[in-house]
């Protein structure tokens, strides 16, 4: 880690105005982002948001139209081999040579990394129950994913770049993988993962970067995103339905005889003062899950 | 890069083996049947049955001799086989890697794009050399076994010329494969391109086309007839093939290093 250490004062991952256009089509535009050592950052976004493009730019598989990216101080285009030496990269829907088995591919990976053993590989093989003896062409989607995870992470990389790492895994495999990622972060490894599965991002990520239409819309902690966005308020009342005027921006989700469900944005004190003035018999105020935040974010997309 | 070369050699030997079995079986058959044809009127008449353009393409040899016969029925076909092998190898190990995204796995390892492409070029050229080497060993062993005078210097010169042509064609197809991510399309281009160029070379020679035009065809620089007749090969042709191969290989490396590997 000599040279990386010398450059170590910089964030582990840095994207600087990173932009990629495919002809006239935007892949990502003006992505600026930093990820520190030991941090787990989740890339969120719907299909076509630019998550995979961002990760491929980071690995030097795509050339940026403008801007730059660095991993541990190494430029991802000019010093791509140094970057790959330090990164464990799992592509989305990983493709492996069909006529080889996992052990043969692991040997190839170790030879190119010039290492005799992959310290974490055996543990990962056991944890994930990865079928390393089976030809890849005979593996199911989930088995292939397990082998690919062993190949990407078995050498204990300092940076983990994972494109939808739990896709195809069974629930046990997903849980084991998330636990493994948390453990690697505690060991000081930096993790950048993209996912559609918001629940898993919520479990492992400290911060979330939300992409939409190739642009970075928001980078914040999971907690901050939840708190800032909205609350779902269920009110049971006696008599006339209360008015939510003054409680912030609100939207009635459902209204029955004596029960209303309202989504409210704004300061909790405003909401509480409105409820205090009404004939309320019961109230529950729910924090949204990250999934609800995410859906809300995209539902209102164009106005943000 | 060494790890990639070893890996690709390991993955390509099986297919290479079948190509060699096919080619060497053809060579063995050609040598074996010469005894039943030599001295016959049919053999003497055979050459005259060929159209002028094919005679031009094959070159000036005496097919009544064992070396002339080997050239007619074996050496003159080897460039076609090498061209097709090179195209299929390039399609399978460059285009298909991008098409099926196995290149993502390799380029997720500490491997540069230059090393990735260079490993393909090195193994492809090595395998073409192995085919030519196999043909040389076959002739050196079988011709004396059949009771004929062996001419290793002629075989070596002709096969060295074939190797340069095969390597140049392969590097050209590697360049094409560096920007077309469809294995089937590159195979079509390679096989079609090899056959059409070969036939066009015959047509250009028969039509007495100016040298400057004929020199554009790689097959124009295949002078095995001279070698198999005991004549020297003019140095211009091997030099042209070597330079063309280096330029095409460099272009493949350059382009693969510049391009995007889209998901």
In B, minimum Cα distance to A79 occurs at B112
> Per residue in B49-82, pLDDT tens?
888 888 888 888 888 889 999 999 999 999 999 9
Cβ neighbours of B260 in A, within 8 Å: 22, 61-63
Three-state secondary structure string covering chain B = CHHHHHHHHHHHHHHHHHHHHHHHHHHHHHHHHHHHHCCCHHHHHHHHHCCHHHHHHHCCCCCCCHHHHHHHHHHCCHHHHHHHHHHHHHHHHHHHHHHCCHHHHHCCCCCCHHHHHHHHHHHHHHHHHHHHHHHHHHHHHHHHHCCCCCCHHHHHHHHHHHHHHHHHHHHHHHHHHCCCCCHHHHHHHHHHHHHHHHHHHHHHHHCCCCHHHHCCCHHHHCCHHHHHCCCCCCCHHHHHHHHHHHHHHHHHHHHHHHCCCCC
Note whether residue A294 is domain-resident: no
**Cβ contact (<8 Å) for A80 and B112?**
yes
Q: Are residues A130 and A174 in the same domain?
A: yes
Q: Pick the residue of B10, B13, B108, B263 with the most A CBs within 10 A to test the interface with A by mutation.
A: B108
Measure in Å the smallest separation between the Cα of B236 and chain A Cα atoms. 39
- Enter the pTM of the model: 0.84
Note whether residue A293 is domain-resident: no
Q: Are residues A203 and A88 in the same domain?
A: yes
Three-state secondary structure string covering A66-107 = EEEEEECCEECCCCHHHHHHHEEEECCCCCCCCCCEHHHHHH
3-state class of A171 per DSSP? helix
Structural domains in chain A (count): 2
Measure in Å the smallest separation between the Cα of A63 and chain B Cα atoms. 6
Q: Are residues A221 and A237 in the same domain?
A: no
The verdict on ipTM greater than 0.95 is no
* pLDDT under 50: residue ranges of chain B: none
In B, minimum Cα distance to A91 occurs at B104
Q: Are residues A143 and A280 in the same domain?
A: no
Note whether residue A38 is domain-resident: yes
Residue in the structure block whose two tokens are 């609800």: A292
Q: What CATH number should be reported for the domain holding residue A156?
A: 3.40.50.300
Range(s) of the domain holding residue A199: 2-225
Cβ neighbours of B181 in A, within 8 Å: none
Q: Are residues A19 and A142 in the same domain?
A: yes
> Per residue in A109-143, pLDDT tens?
999 998 888 778 999 999 999 999 999 999 999 99
**Cβ contact (<8 Å) for A84 and B110?**
yes
Note whether residue A302 is domain-resident: no
Domain boundary among A225, A254, A279: A225
> So where are chain B's domains?
2-258
> Per residue in A17-67, pLDDT tens?
999 999 888 889 999 999 998 899 998 888 888 899 999 999 999 999 999
**Cβ contact (<8 Å) for B104 and A148?**
no
B252 and B121 Cβ atoms separated by less than 8 Å:
yes
Measure in Å the smallest separation between the Cα of A33 and chain B Cα atoms. 22
Note whether residue A239 is domain-resident: yes
Within chain A, residue ranges assigned H as helices are 2-6, 51-58, 80-86, 102-112, 121-128, 141-153, 171-186, 198-204, 222-229, 268-276, 290-299
> Per residue in A195-240, pLDDT tens?
877 777 888 898 999 888 889 888 888 877 766 667 778 888 887 7
A276 and A236 Cβ atoms separated by less than 8 Å:
no
Q: Are residues A34 and A56 in the same domain?
A: yes
Q: Are residues A236 and A128 in the same domain?
A: no
Q: Between chain A and chain B, how many beta carbons pairs sit less than 8 Å apart?
A: 75
Note whether residue A69 is domain-resident: yes
Query: 3-state SS of chain A: helix, strand, coil percent to 5?
Result: 35, 30, 35
N- to C-terminal Cα distance for chain B? 24
Measure in Å the smallest separation between the Cα of A14 and chain B Cα atoms. 19
**Cβ contact (<8 Å) for B3 and A112?**
yes
CA distances A205 to A70, A159, A296, Å, are 21, 15, 19
- For residue A194, list its beta bridge partners: A43, A163
Measured CA to CA, the distance from residue B69 to residue B36 in angstroms comes to: 12
Q: Are residues A151 and A243 in the same domain?
A: no
More confident residue, B212 or A268: B212
Domain boundary among A203, A225, A247: A225
**Cβ contact (<8 Å) for A84 and B258?**
no
Nearest to A91 among B101, B113, B259 (CB): B101
**Cβ contact (<8 Å) for A96 and B102?**
yes
Measure in Å the smallest separation between the Cα of B259 and chain A Cα atoms. 7
Note whether residue A300 is domain-resident: no
Q: Are residues A278 and A172 in the same domain?
A: no
Nearest to A95 among B3, B7, B105 (CB): B105
Nearest to B104 among A87, A95, A100 (CB): A95
Q: Are residues A55 and A204 in the same domain?
A: yes
Q: Are residues A206 and A249 in the same domain?
A: no
pLDDT at B185: 96
pLDDT at A7: 42
pLDDT at A31: 92
A155, pLDDT greater than 60? yes
Nearest to A94 among B4, B105, B259 (CB): B105
Measured CA to CA, the distance from residue B8 to residue A289 in angstroms comes to: 49
**Cβ contact (<8 Å) for B109 and A52?**
no
Identify the CA nearest to B200 among candidates B215, B212, B217: B217
The token pair that represents A141 in the structure block: 């989607």
Note whether residue A292 is domain-resident: no
**Cβ contact (<8 Å) for A60 and B3?**
no
Q: Are residues A75 and A220 in the same domain?
A: yes
User: What is the biggest distance separating any 2 CA atoms in chain B, rounded to whole angstroms?
Assistant: 65
Measured CA to CA, the distance from residue B161 to residue B208 in angstroms comes to: 23
């Amino acid at each position: 880690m000599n040279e990386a250490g010398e450059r170590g004062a910089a964030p582990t991952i840095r994207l600087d105005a990173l932009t990629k256009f495919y002809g006239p089509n935007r892949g990502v535009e003006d992505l600026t982002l930093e990820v520190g050592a030991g941090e787990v950052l989740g890339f969120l976004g719907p299909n076509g948001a630019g998550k995979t493009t961002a990760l491929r730019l980071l690995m030097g598989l795509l050339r940026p139209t403008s801007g730059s990216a660095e991993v541990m101080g190494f430029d991802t285009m000019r010093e791509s081999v140094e970057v790959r030496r330090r990164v464990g990269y799992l592509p989305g829907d990983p493709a492996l040579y069909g006529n080889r088995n996992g052990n043969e591919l692991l040997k190839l990976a170790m030879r190119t990394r010039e290492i005799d053993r992959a310290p974490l590989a055996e543990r990962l093989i056991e944890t994930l129950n990865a079928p390393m003896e089976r030809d890849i062409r005979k593996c199911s989607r989930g088995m292939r994913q397990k082998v690919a995870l062993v190949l990407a992470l078995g050498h204990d990389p300092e940076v983990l770049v994972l494109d939808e790492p739990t896709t195809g895994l069974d629930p046990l495999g997903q849980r084991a993988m998330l636990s493994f990622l948390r453990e690697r972060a505690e060991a000081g490894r930096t993790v950048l993962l993209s996912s559609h599965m918001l629940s898993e991002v919520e479990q492992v990520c400290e911060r979330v970067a939300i992409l939409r239409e190739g642009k970075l819309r928001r980078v914040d902690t999971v907690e901050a995103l939840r708190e800032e966005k909205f609350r779902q308020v269920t009110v049971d009342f006696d008599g006339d339905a209360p008015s939510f005027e003054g409680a912030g921006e609100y939207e009635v989700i459902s209204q029955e005889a004596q029960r209303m469900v309202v989504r409210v944005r704004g300061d909790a004190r405003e909401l509480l003062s409105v409820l205090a003035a009404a004939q309320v018999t019961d109230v529950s105020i729910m924090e949204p899950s990250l999934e609800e935040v995410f859906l809300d974010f995209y539902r209102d997309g164009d106005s943000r | 890069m060494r790890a990639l070369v070893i890996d690709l050699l390991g993955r390509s030997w099986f297919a290479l083996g079948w190509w060699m079995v096919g080619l060497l079986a053809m060579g063995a058959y050609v040598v074996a049947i010469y005894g039943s044809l030599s001295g016959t009127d049919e053999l003497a008449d055979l050459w005259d049955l060929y159209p002028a353009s094919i005679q031009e393409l094959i070159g000036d040899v005496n097919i009544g001799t064992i070396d002339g016969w080997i050239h007619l029925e074996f050496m003159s076909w080897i460039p076609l086989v090498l061209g097709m092998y090179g195209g299929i190898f390039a399609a399978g190990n460059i285009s298909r890697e991008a098409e099926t995204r196995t290149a993502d796995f390799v380029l997720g390892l500490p491997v540069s794009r230059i090393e990735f492409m260079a490993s393909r070029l090195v193994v492809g050229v090595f395998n073409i050399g192995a085919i030519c080497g196999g043909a040389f060993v076959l002739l050196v062993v079988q011709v004396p076994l059949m009771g004929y005078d062996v001419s290793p210097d002629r075989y070596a010169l002709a096969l060295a010329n074939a190797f340069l042509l095969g390597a140049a064609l392969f590097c050209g197809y590697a360049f094409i494969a560096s920007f077309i991510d469809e294995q089937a399309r590159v195979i079509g281009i390679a096989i079609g391109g090899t056959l059409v160029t070969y036939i066009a070379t015959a047509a250009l020679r028969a039509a007495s086309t100016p040298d400057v035009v004929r020199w554009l065809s790689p097959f124009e620089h295949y002078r095995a007839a001279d070698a198999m007749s005991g004549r020297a090969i003019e140095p211009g042709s091997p030099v042209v093939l070597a330079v063309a191969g280096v330029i095409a290989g460099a272009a493949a490396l350059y382009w693969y290093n510049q391009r995007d590997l889209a998901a």
